[in-house]
Structure 1
Amino acid sequence: MLRGLTTVNYWADDVAAAAKWYAELLGVEPYFNRPGPDGRPAYIEFRIGDYQHELGIVDSRYSPSGPAAGPAGVIMYWHVDDLTAALDRLRSMGAKDHEAPTERGPGFVTASVVDPFGNILGIMYNAHYLEVLGSRP
């Protein structure tokens, strides 16, 4: 039934600021920008990673249940080749620790931060991800 990850959405009160922050983090500019009725960005989207997954930033005004009082919800982990270096970079850009690096088993280490816009960003060194990537033609 579930065929693959299509889009992960994060929320921000200031989509333009979030777009700038994530563009710096990811090293790419958003490929899609939908303005709201006031002309400010209401939704922007990046294509990132080995599989060109979509990372969207949505104006918090459009949150289906309103913004959370703090970081909440599902944590989606992005594979990184060097968890320590990725965590250091995120911290240097103003992200705050949410969960310290935790070994989940041989070849699996996770950590998460809260971005400057209140979203939980998970990172993971994942041996299975590398196996799948290596099996692609």
Structure 2
Amino acid sequence: MFRGIANVNLVADDVPKAVDWYSSLLGRRPYFVRPVSGPAEYAEWRFGDDEDELALMSSAYRPVLERPGGALVSLHVDDIQAAFDRVRELGADEIDAVTRRGEGWWSASVVDPFGNLLGLIQSPHWAGRHVDAASSSGS
């Protein structure tokens, strides 16, 4: 029934500034932005081995909750310390420092300049899954 995560949405009060920040972080501009003219209110990037979709929307469209709620969006990285240093250089604030969680498995978390929690994970399980998939497809 469930096939995977189709899209992860982050929010920002200043979407154009957030688009610039995430474009710098991901190394590319979004492939989809709305409205087409004028200041962005929504943007999407595809990145990584699976072309995962990360979206950014205006906080004006954030669902209203009666109590706090949310998710920690975690991105797999090849070098957690380098990725952590990069997001900090771009202005993210540390929540959890780079921490070893097991054999070859590390995590860290930050809050981006727009108030979104962003996790970083370096995991041999994630990396191994993608090596196995590439091997079986003949790549």
Whether these two folds match at TM > 0.5 is yes
Mind listing any 5+ residue stretches in structure 2 that lack a counterpart? none
Match of 1:15 in 2: 15
Deviation readout 1:93-132 (Å, 9 max, x if unpaired): 1100011222221121110111111101110001111111
1:127 is aligned to 2:139: no
Give every structure 1 segment of 4 or more consecutive aligned residues whose post-TM-superposition deviation is greater than 6 Å.
none
Of all paired residues, the percent bearing the same amino acid is 45
Whole-Å separation in 2 of the counterparts to 1:4 and 1:65: 25
Match of 2:47 in 1: 48
Matched to 1:24, the amino acid is: S
Whole-Å separation in 1 of the counterparts to 2:96 and 2:117: 10
Alpha-carbon RMSD across the aligned residues, in angstroms, is 2.0
1:95 is aligned to 2:87: no
SS of 1:21's equivalent in the other structure is: helix
1:6 is aligned to 2:3: no
Whole-Å separation in 1 of the counterparts to 2:123 and 2:59: 31
TM-score when normalising by structure 1? 0.89
> How much has 1:74 moved relative to structure 2?
1.3
The structure 1 residue matched to 2:109, chosen from 109, 112, 115, is 112
SS of 2:41's equivalent in the other structure is: strand
Matched to 2:39, the amino acid is: R
Whole-Å separation in 1 of the counterparts to 2:62 and 2:73: 18
Matched to 2:80, the amino acid is: L
> How much has 1:88 moved relative to structure 2?
0.6
Deviation readout 1:82-101 (Å, 9 max, x if unpaired): 10011111111110001122
SS of 1:9's equivalent in the other structure is: strand
TM-score when normalising by structure 2? 0.88
How many pairs does the alignment contain?
133
